[in-house]
Amino acid sequence: MTSLLSVTGVETSYGPVRAVQGVSFSVDRGKVVAVLGANGAGKTTLMRTISGTLVCSAGEVHLDGRAIQGFDPDRIVTLGLSHVPEGRQVFPHLTVSENLRMGAYIRTDPDGVETDLAAVFDYFPVLRERQAQRAGLLSGGEQQMLALSRALMARPRMLLLDEPSLGLSPRLVKEIFRIVKRINAERDVTILLVEQNAAMALDVSDEAHVLENGRIVVSDSSATLRARTDIQDYYLGGQGSGDSRPRPRRLRAWL
């Protein structure tokens, strides 16, 4: 299967601190791939590097065979990659409708834009009801729905999702991830997912990478990782406990 996204030897720093250190992996077309890791592992930095918000100091990022490292984020969007950042980052003073249309700013097909508006309203009917409401007045769950929908309005081939469950109730988390699976299946959108809820991330993804101190320390199929006792203990709280918070010990101790 052909890779849509390829990351090779990427390093990204904040001053003297290397937050991402020599990371390499690929994402095949049509797949959902998860990146797991404790707070501070470098997950968000990696996503921002891929989407062009941060510039890597070394390495290469290829989208569909084309090197995109160093490109501005808006140019990367035009090439088919959209990023839903951690914390939603909707435009709070714009309405829901205006936010969605901002997501389609690169497009020149008004009929297609209307078709995609109907599609996101099918995914999230509450957004249709809130079209005229300012985004800053939405609940956290509604803002996450809006951020995801706004990214879809660019008709991406590749979608980066950074912590979509952050701050949401368990019911809303299940709903968001149900829609993520629909988007992957129905729209053939390849997805790279960063998520603290490891159990949910492994449930919806095909493959996963574990990031620790800016390096990938484990990569395997999601089913295999979910079955490993070290992953269960570190990320899933032990089999059947329902506690997905990362443990204080380092995973590398088991490798």
Residues 55, 29 contacting (CB under 8 angstroms): no
Neighbouring C-beta atoms of residue 115, cutoff 10 Å: 10
- pLDDT for the residue 142: 94
In the numeric block, which tokens belong to residue 189? 């959108």
Question: Cα-Cα-Cα-Cα dihedral of 42, 45, 47, 52, to 10°?
Answer: -160
Fold classification of 3-254 (topology level) = Rossmann fold (3.40.50)
HSE of 169 in the Cβ direction (CA atoms, 13 Å)? 5
The DSSP-derived string for 5-31 is: EEEEEEEEEETTEEEEEEEEEEEETT-
- pLDDT for the residue 1: 60
The tokens 């979608």 sit on which residue? 159
Residues 38, 194 contacting (CB under 8 angstroms): no
Note the pLDDT tens digit of each residue in 142-170.
Answer: 999 999 999 999 999 999 999 998 888 88
Confidence of residue 237 (pLDDT cuts 50, 70, 90): low
- pLDDT for the residue 249: 46
Average pLDDT, the chain: 90
- pLDDT for the residue 193: 97
Note the pLDDT tens digit of each residue in 71-118.
Answer: 999 999 999 999 999 888 899 999 999 999 999 999 999 999 999 999
Residues 21, 215 contacting (CB under 8 angstroms): yes
Structure-model confidence comparison of residues 245 and 191, the more confident one: 191
Residues 57, 16 contacting (CB under 8 angstroms): no
